[in-house]
Amino acid sequence: GDDSPMTARVPPELRGSDDWIGQIVGNYRLVRLLGEGGMGMVFEAYNEAAGGRAAVKILRPEVSMKPEVAGRFFNEARAANAIQHPGIVRVFDCGQTVERAAFLTMEFLEGKSLRSLLDGIGQLGSADVVRLGRQMASALSAAHRKNIVHRDLKPDNLMLVADPDIPGGERVKILDFGIAKLAEGLSGAASVTDSNLVMGTPAYMAPEQCKGAKLVTDRSDVYSLGVIF
């Protein structure tokens, strides 16, 4: 594609996360690495024209070239924007850089994951479990009403962010709908998931999910939520 003033050309040799700092992706300049894995990276980014921060998730260019992986990556935008619930992280935009690295720009959350909280204190009291559990169940129910199944619920994908307008002063946000199962009408195409493919995190997966992705339903998410409780 042609160079765009809003999307930087990232030279092929720029593969390390440090090399992305300062690049403009979408409408945002990447300013700080928040986390990375084998598939991609997440950066804090700033919109210099309008102000405001975002989290930018980038799928590494070599991974973005695989259509089935990029498709699951963009599922996150479609799922989050279809659900429209305060407990689901908002996705602002998605696309590809000139060098074909797939990206999402999403709501920047200041807080910590439920995993981080549990690592620090070991276990929540029953009142906190009920308070946060109701929020998780509300957001999950909103997803299921849109025929969207998360398929990877776990403490790592649950963020706690300050919200003074609700009891307890914090809100749970569900992250990472990247492997969500979407209804055919929402995704615009029939599912091409291999029936034998297993996606998710084993310790939180329902028995039917361990047997294959095609067997996953909204009840599989409820099982994962029960394990988290």
152 is catalytic: yes
> With the C-alpha atoms ordered 76, 81, 85, 90, is the resulting torsion angle positive or negative?
positive
Instruction: Name the burial class of residue 207, with classes exposed (0-12), middle (13-18) and buried (19+) by CB atoms within 10 angstroms of its CB.
Output: exposed
The single residue of 3, 93, 152, 221 carrying the catalytic annotation is 152
With the C-alpha atoms ordered 102, 6, 41, 170, is the resulting torsion angle positive or negative? negative
- Please, how many CA atoms are within 13 Å of residue 23, restricted to the half-sphere of its CB? 25
Residues 6 or more apart whose CB falls under 8 angstroms from that of 59 comprise: 39, 40, 69, 70, 73, 101, 102, 103
Measured in degrees and rounded to the nearest 5, phi and psi for residue 32 equal: -160, 135
Q: What is the set of active-site residues?
A: 152
